[in-house]
């Protein structure tokens, strides 16, 4: 439709090679909403006949409920397919829809809206997982377990300290993703192909319809950049890596050799040949998701890195990588929430390892150094020699030599901020729970404002 007057029709191979129509299923809802907002602005600005605007809006609203018809067209993308559909329904009146717009600013608008929504869904999933982790941290505040460095038993700690550490990590990502959301949710409408449009639209008013009134000011940047997308992708990839580490913790600590956790049966799979196997398959996919998110980020950046300013068709290839990653990371958050909701713990297995490994040695060295006034390094060397000589007899020898009792219940109550002390963790939980509650309320209110207006069947995500 667009190319025919100037270039003629394109052969099937080349159209298939360059067309993004089928990939546009992921953003069809946003494309229709953006076009609807544009037509409303044309009507508000008295730039097209009122009757034509009403007819176009009626057809666009019908399409939002059943957009499948668009994907039967021989079109370059969903934008062209919509105009072809409108032309069939409305004849020449459909031509008014092209005034004051370009595919460049409209695809940027749809992608910004889609990105903002996916980030908002990620943030909601983060808040839900954090709420659960905080509940579990409070419930298991007194459950002792070894902490690990280099995946070797390190110190006596608590299960709640581990859970609180995951929560604080997620808190940092909540802040970062909230900023990415703000960056994405800005309107490029009215920027045109690269330098604005001659139709006297109100860009600010158009921004108020879908983007809470926020605007990408510079027309060239508005229509020809994907920085909002790569920022979101980079943060999501980083979050996916962080979640992969949590998945690895759960895989290792639920192994039969360690047995601190028992994973929910629905997250396990058995073997085609080994009937005894219980494989942690959802967590393995969570690990793989981090690799996929990293690959998608590198693919997107590699596509964009050589482009000049302004729009190039290369950009359309980034869209699938971006949507896939943002959806995948949210799904991983939901999977982890389900696991932490149903996971069972073995206090006995944790106690076993506290007894088997000399994890009190670091604290005993500090306590002896403070009690005797001797340099810590001297005490450290003496305890290291005792461990080398007889690991199992360390605690008895320490009590005999230094009069210091190896009491894990006392030692775990370390006096410093943020330590494994159950009271410290409870204080953290209390503070974090308040901030998560406020965040969830804000996110839900935002979703009410910017959530999709398409029917569920019209959305691909």
Strand 261-262 versus strand 152-158 pairing type: unpaired
Rounded Cα gap, residues 250 and 339, in angstroms: 9
* Per-residue tokens: 232: 């979101």
Q: Does residue 42 contact residue 210 with C-beta atoms inside 8 Å? A: no
* Per-residue tokens: 234: 């980079």
∠ Cα 258 289 181 (to 5°): 120
* Per-residue tokens: 226: 């994907």
Rounded Cα gap, residues 232 and 228, in angstroms: 6
E strand residue ranges, 290-366 = 344-345
Among 315, 85, 30, 42, CA closest to 194? 315
* Per-residue tokens: 194: 């690269």
Rounded Cα gap, residues 374 and 387, in angstroms: 19
Rounded Cα gap, residues 193 and 79, in angstroms: 14
Annotated catalytic residue: which of 271, 302, 309, 431? 271
* Per-residue tokens: 364: 């005993």
Annotated catalytic residue: which of 9, 50, 150, 276? 150
**Site of tokens 């996110």:** 443
Among 234, 139, 250, 170, CA closest to 440? 170
Rounded Cα gap, residues 228 and 208, in angstroms: 19
Rounded Cα gap, residues 384 and 410, in angstroms: 22
Longest dimension (CA), the chain: 97
- Range 272-275 contact pairs with CB under 8 angstroms and sequence separation of 24 or more: none
Give catalytic status of residue 271 as yes or no.
yes
Q: Which residues are catalytic?
A: 150, 271
């Amino acid at each position: 439709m667009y190319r025919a007057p100037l270039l003629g029709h394109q052969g099937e191979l080349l159209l298939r090679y360059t067309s993004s129509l089928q990939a546009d299923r992921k953003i069809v809802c946003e494309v229709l909403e953006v076009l609807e907002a544009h037509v409303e602005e044309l009507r508000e600005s008295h730039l097209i006949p009122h009757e034509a605007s009403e007819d176009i809006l009626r057809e666009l609203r019908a399409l939002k409920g059943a957009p499948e018809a668009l994907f039967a067209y021989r079109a370059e993308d969903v934008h062209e397919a919509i105009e072809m559909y409108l032309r069939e329904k409305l004849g020449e009146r459909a031509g008014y829809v092209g005034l004051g717009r370009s595919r460049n600013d409209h695809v940027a608008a749809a992608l910004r809206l889609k990105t903002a929504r996916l980030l908002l869904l990620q943030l909601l999933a983060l808040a839900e997982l954090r709420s659960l982790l905080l509940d579990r941290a409070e419930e298991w505040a007194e459950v002792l377990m070894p902490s690990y460095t280099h995946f070797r038993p390190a110190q006596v700690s608590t299960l709640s300290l581990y859970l609180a550490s995951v929560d604080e990590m997620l808190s940092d990502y909540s802040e970062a993703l909230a900023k990415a959301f703000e960056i994405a949710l800005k309107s490029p409408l009215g920027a045109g192909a690269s330098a604005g449009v001659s139709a006297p639209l109100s860009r600010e008013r158009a921004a108020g319809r879908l983007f809470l009134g926020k605007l990408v000011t510079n027309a060239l940047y508005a229509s020809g950049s994907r920085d909002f997308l790569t920022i979101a992708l980079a943060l999501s990839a980083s979050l996916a890596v962080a979640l992969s580490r949590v998945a690895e913790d759960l895989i290792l600590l639920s192994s039969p050799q360690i047995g601190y956790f028992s994973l929910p049966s629905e997250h396990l799979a058995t073997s085609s040949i080994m009937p005894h196997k219980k494989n942690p398959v959802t967590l393995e996919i969570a690990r793989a998701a981090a690799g996929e998110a990293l690959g998608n980020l590198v693919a997107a950046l590699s596509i964009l890195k050589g482009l000049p300013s302004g729009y190039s068709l290369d950009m359309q290839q980034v869209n699938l990588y971006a949507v896939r990653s943002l959806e995948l990371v949210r799904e991983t958050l939901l999977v982890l929430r389900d696991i932490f909701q149903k996971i069972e713990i073995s206090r006995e297995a944790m106690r076993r390892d506290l007894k088997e490994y000399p994890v009190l040695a670091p604290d005993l060295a500090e306590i002896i150094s403070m009690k005797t006034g001797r340099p810590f390094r001297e005490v450290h060397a003496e305890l290291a020699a005792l461990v080398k000589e007889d690991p199992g007899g360390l605690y008895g020898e320490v009590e005999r030599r230094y009069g210091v009792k190896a009491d894990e219940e006392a030692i775990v109550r370390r006096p410093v901020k943020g330590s494994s002390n159950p009271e410290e963790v409870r204080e953290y939980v209390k503070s974090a729970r308040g901030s998560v509650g406020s965040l969830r309320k804000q996110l839900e209110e935002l979703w009410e404002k910017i959530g999709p207006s398409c029917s569920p069947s019209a959305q691909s995500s």
